[in-house]
Each structure stands twice: as structure tokens, then as C-alpha cells.
Amino acid sequence: MDDAIAVRDLVVDRGGRRVLHGISATVPRGRVTGLLGPSGSGKTTLMRAVVGVQVVGSGTVTVLGRPAGSAELRRRVGYLTQAPSVYADLTVRENARYFAALHGRGHADADRAVADVGLAPAASQLVGALSGGQRSRASLACALVGDPELIILDEPTVGQDPVLRADLWTRFHELAAAGRTLLVSSHVMDEAARCDRLLLIREGRLIADDTPDAVRAAAGVADLDEAFLRLIRAGEADAGPVTGPNGTAGRVGAAGGEAS
Amino acid sequence: MNPRILAATTGRILRQLRHDRRTVALLVAVPSVLLALVYYMYADQPAPPGQPSAFDRIALVMLGLFPFIVMFLVTSIAMLRERTTGTLERLLTTPLAKTDLLFGYGIAFGLAGAVQATIASAVAYWLFDLDTAGSSGLVIMVAVLNAVLAVALGLFCSAFARTEFQAVQFMPVVVAPQLLLCGLFVPRGEMAGWLQAVSDVLPLSYAVEALQEVGAHAEPTGTMWRDAAVVAGATVLALVLAAVTLRRRSG
């Protein structure tokens, strides 16, 4: 099986409300897949289901060939939570070294992970004293420090300056080129164009699952933001949320090939 | 459980504590200040003939209570912080086993409790002439057992607290009844039967009895060892409950 993640008919309820309505999607190995959608669309819930910390109503989530949350997966999957989850009362270096130790890595790996996110100059500062953007990069360093096969990043570039954002995306593609699989969520559409593949969700339903080029082609516009808007309108016009055979609402660009 | 991960987790918790200098200073200084308070409160009270003085009686029990109360609070707050900042959720997606985290807290704050108990005991024995028939080492041992028990109870209770306000409220709920019924205020044998029965299932009663045994006997007694074993057993039970209530998946 070539997919790093296979989600089938996933239903999740949180706080008495249905958050995911039977989502089915796949994430190919060795690519950067973007999970796009507005705030509250269910991106974080889907990611939590993939890393195995979300109570699931029904459906299956298979990760690297195993059921999500399997003990063995915990050494192969890296997870960046949306809010920076690092210890504010430790330095950047101490945080990275702790998470490195959990993955059986040494100090050198930790220091490299800190340098890779551009935080080497701030390595001996307490995380609590950092800016929001630095703090989320410290958190990112801790997600990458174990060199996991599958990397789940929940909004990793929020609050970063444009140059750093570009650097981070370059880094993500380097990781993918080295055989890692990345699932990166964002609510900023201009980041969608940087992904190899896109999953667009809205209100807990999958609206698109394809390459950026195919999404543009299906919608007939060059701008991805506009393309998504058209897909949403088209979906609503077709008698409310259209559900395809596998729960995919209006899978677009079926003929669209891989973006190069 | 993995020794490398357990050691890394223990080290991480101690490092967090070390960065918080004010907390360390309070941990060390507050027991001594309170001991001084009790010392001067009872300075002019004559001891009943053949009985230990009021200061000896109260200070001995206080040495066991400081680590219990403080470590319970510190653990509850630390664990709540792990939950609210998302570090707990992240930890649970790593190879860390739940026992690595729970024992990491037990060892780290147990060590902190040991330091606190040692310093408080040194002050009590040398500065305020605390007199116990048994050795000060046994007093510290019981104090450390209390600290670890408090960590275990804190880890368990933190599963039921969603906010800092709730976590702080567990202090009177868990600690106060044990404090009132442990035999410090009214000897357990003189309480009403039902109060005695409640007192019998509270682990702090055994810790206090163990301390009183050390105070009254030059050599460690069988009762003291049994009491110490009860406290250790209660700790294991609380840790098991904490492990059961710590869920990898949440809603």
C-alpha cells in the first residue's frame, strides 16, 4: 500500500456536535499534502484522529499500514499541535533535547533540529520569553527532532514572517524529497499552492482531494482561493452537501494527474 | 516503561523546577518559618510530666505534612499545565509510556520532597532542639514516603480538574480531611467509631502514626514498618488509578 494515511468514512463527534461527517481521504507517501479549510472546519480533529489521540465515532484511520494510535506508530509519527506545546519554563534547547530523548536521539540531533527551524541564536532562551512565532518554531523543532516518517503539522507557519515561511516550506519539501510524508494544515490559501496535493475540508466534509493544478482546472480559474470558492458554491448548488460514493463531496478533477 | 525515557522525563521535570527559583526558595524556606512559628507559640507552655512537649509532638508531625501538602499542590498544578498547554497530548503521541510520565513525576517531586524534608528536619533538630527517641533518618524517610504519596494523589486528582480553580479546590477535598482525622488534633482512639473508620482508610493516618512511633521508640518498631508499607501501598494504588484515568484518546 502506497498511501501513508488512509481515512475511511470517519465520523467524529466533539462536545455533542458532529465535527467530521464521514470523511474518506488518502495521503500519499513522500509528498507534502495540504489540509486546507477555514477555522472550525475539522482540520485539527482530523489530524488528532490520525495521530491517535481523538476518540472516533465510526470509520477507520490507517497510518503507515497500521490502525491509528498503535503503539508502534508513536515512534514513526511526529505531531505539531496547533497551539505551541512546548514547556515555557525550559529553554529551547532543553525542550528539543527532551523530545529528542523520547525518540532515542541525542543532543546533536536536538541541536540540529533547533538550527533547522532558525532558532539557534535563541537556543538558550526560555520558551516563555520568546515571541509567538519563535515559540511555534520551537514546537516545530520538537516535532521534527525524532526524524519521523510521517509528519503531521497543524498550522506550522502561523505568525511567521514571509521569509521564514518560505524557508519552512522549502524545508518541508526537502523532507518530502528525503522520503518523509507531510500533512500540513493551513487556513491560508496562498499556502495551498505550495503543496503537492490538497485536501480541502469545510464544515467537516471533504470538498476537494487533488493536486493544486487539478483543482484550478476543475474550477476553471487560476487563483486557488477563487477555485475553492467556486467548488463550495457548486457543492451547495447541487442540493446541499453532495456526498459521493465514498463520502467525498464532489471529488474534483478526477482526470487530473499528479502535479509535477 | 523505558529507563532512558523515564530518566529524561525526571530530568525534564527537575529542570523546570530549577528554572523556577522562587518556588525552590519557597519550598526550602516556608517549612522552617512555620516551624519557628510553632516553636515560639509553645515556648512558654510547660510539657506535661512524662509526655513529649507540645512542640516535639507537633513539629514531628509537621515534618511529615509539609511535603505531603506542598507536593500534592505542585503536582496537581504541574499536571494540569501539561493538559492545558497541550504538552500532555503531544507526549502521548511519542514513545513515552504513561508509567514513564507518572513515575517521572513521582521520582522528581519525591526528590524535591526529600530535599525539603531534610532541610526542615535539620532546622527542627538543630535550631529548635526537636527531641525524638528514634532517628531523624526515619523521620525523613516517612516524609519522603508522604511526598511520593502526595504526588500520586495529585496525578490521580488532576484527571478530574479542568481548570486551575478546580485543581486548587482538590487541596481541601483531599488533604483537609486527612489532616483533621490523622490523630494530630484528637487521638484516633478517642474519636467516634465512624470517624475512626474513616480515619482508618486515609493513608495520612498511617504516616502520622509512623512518625509518632519514631518519636516514642529508639528503634524502628513493627507498627512503624507496617504503617510505612500502608503508605507505600496507597501510593501504588493511587498511581494505578492515575494510569487508568490518563487516557491517550480524548473527545
Distance between CA atoms of residues B121 and B142, nearest Å: 12
For chain A, percent of residues with pLDDT exceeding 90: 68
Predicted local confidence at residue B106, as pLDDT: 94
Domain boundaries, chain A: 82-147
Amino acid present at B192: A
List chain B residues with CB under 8 Å of A74.
93-96
List chain A residues with CB under 8 Å of B20.
89
Helix crossing, B98-122 with B54-84: angle to 10°? 150
Query: Which residue in B199, B98, B202, B111 sits closest to B148, CA to CA?
Result: B111
- Cβ pair A90:B15 closer than 8 A: yes
**Three cell numbers written together for A235:** 457543492
Predicted local confidence at residue A92, as pLDDT: 97
Pairing of strands A66-67, A181-186: unpaired
Tell me the H-state helices in A24-90.
43-51
Predicted local confidence at residue A242, as pLDDT: 44
Of A54, A85, A99, nearest to B86 by CB-CB distance is: A85
SS3 A28: strand
List chain A residues with CB under 8 Å of B91.
102
Whether pLDDT at A244 is above 80: no
Whether pLDDT at A252 is above 60: no
Q: Does B232 touch chain A (CB under 8 A)?
A: no
Q: Does B96 touch chain A (CB under 8 A)?
A: yes
Amino acid present at A140: L
CB atoms within 10 A of CB B76: 27
Of B16, B92, B94, nearest to A90 by CB-CB distance is: B16
Tell me the H-state helices in chain A.
43-51, 92-102, 107-116, 132-144, 162-177, 212-219, 224-237
Whether pLDDT at A254 is above 70: no
List chain B residues with CB under 8 Å of A101.
4-5, 8
Please answer whether residues A160 and A132 qualify as being in contact, where contact means their C-beta atoms are separated by less than 8 angstroms: no
Distance between CA atoms of residues A216 and A205, nearest Å: 20
Distance between CA atoms of residues A30 and A3, nearest Å: 9
Sheet holding A197-202, edge to edge: A77-80, A150-154, A181-186, A32-36, A197-202, A205-210
> Is residue A253 left, alpha or beta, with left meaning phi > 0 and alpha meaning psi from -120 to 50?
left
Taking only the tens place, the pLDDT of each residue in B165-178 is 898 899 889 999 99
For chain B, percent of residues with pLDDT exceeding 70: 100
Taking only the tens place, the pLDDT of each residue in B59-105 is 999 999 989 999 999 999 999 999 999 999 999 999 999 999 999 99
Predicted local confidence at residue A1, as pLDDT: 54
The H or E element containing residue A202 is: strand A197-202
Alpha carbon of residue A204 to chain centroid: 15
Which residues, 6+ apart, have CB-to-CB distance to B29 below 8 Å?
Answer: none
Whether pLDDT at A256 is above 50: no
Alpha carbon of residue A29 to chain centroid: 13
Whether pLDDT at A245 is above 80: no
Residue A234 has, within 13 A of its CA and on its CB side, a CA count of 16
The H or E element containing residue A209 is: strand A205-210
Average pLDDT of chain B, as a whole number: 92
Q: What are the distances in angstroms from CA B217 to CA A44, B133, B212, B213?
A: 61, 5, 9, 6
Distance between CA atoms of residues B221 and B199, nearest Å: 21
Distance between CA atoms of residues A234 and A240, nearest Å: 9
List chain A residues with CB under 8 Å of B8.
98, 101-102
Q: Does B20 touch chain A (CB under 8 A)?
A: yes
Please answer whether residues B199 and B171 qualify as being in contact, where contact means their C-beta atoms are separated by less than 8 angstroms: no
Predicted local confidence at residue A191, as pLDDT: 87
Distance between CA atoms of residues A180 and A151, nearest Å: 7
**Three cell numbers written together for B169:** 479546590
Predicted local confidence at residue A238, as pLDDT: 65
Choose the weakest-confidence range: A72-76, A145-149, A219-223, B76-80.
Answer: A219-223
Predicted local confidence at residue B168, as pLDDT: 87
Residues A172-191, mean pLDDT to the nearest whole number: 92
Distance between CA atoms of residues A129 and A123, nearest Å: 12
Residues A66-87, mean pLDDT to the nearest whole number: 93
- Cβ pair A53:B249 closer than 8 A: yes
**Three cell numbers written together for A53:** 489521540
- Cβ pair A88:B250 closer than 8 A: no
Alpha-carbon gap: A217 to the closest alpha carbon of chain B (Å):
38
Alpha carbon of residue B217 to chain centroid: 23
Which stretches of chain A sit within 8 Å of chain B by CB?
13-15, 48, 51-56, 69, 74-75, 77, 79, 81, 83-90, 94, 98-99, 101-104, 126, 142, 146
Predicted local confidence at residue A253, as pLDDT: 38
- With CA atoms as reference, the chain B residue closest to A86 would be B87
Pairing of strands A197-202, A32-36: parallel
3-state secondary structure chain B: CCHHHHHHHHHHHHHHHHHCHHHHHHHHHHHHHHHHHHHHHCCCCCCCCCCCCHHHHHHHHHHHHHHHHHHHHHHHHHHHHHHHCCHHHHHCCCCCCHHHHHHHHHHHHHHHHHHHHHHHHHHHHHHCCCCCCCCHHHHHHHHHHHHHHHHHHHHHHHHHCCCHHHHHHHHHHHHHHHHHHCCCCCCHHHCCHHHHHHHHCCHHHHHHHHHHHHHHCCCCCHHHHHHHHHHHHHHHHHHHHHHHHCCCCEC
Residues A232-256, mean pLDDT to the nearest whole number: 52
At residue B249 the predicted structure's pLDDT band, cuts being 50, 70 and 90, is confident
Choose the weakest-confidence range: A88-97, A226-235, B103-112, B136-145.
Answer: A226-235
ipTM of the complex: 0.89
Whether pLDDT at A2 is above 80: no
For residue A150, the cross-strand partners are A77, A181
Look up cell 486528582; give the residue: B157
Amino acid present at B215: G
**Three cell numbers written together for B188:** 484516633
At residue A237 the predicted structure's pLDDT band, cuts being 50, 70 and 90, is confident
Residue among B21, B22, B77, B87 with most chain A CBs within 10 A, to mutate: B87
Q: For the CA atoms of chain A, what is the radius of gyration?
A: 18
Distance between CA atoms of residues A233 and B237, nearest Å: 57
Predicted local confidence at residue A255, as pLDDT: 37
Predicted TM-score (pTM) of this structure:
0.88
Q: Does B18 touch chain A (CB under 8 A)?
A: no
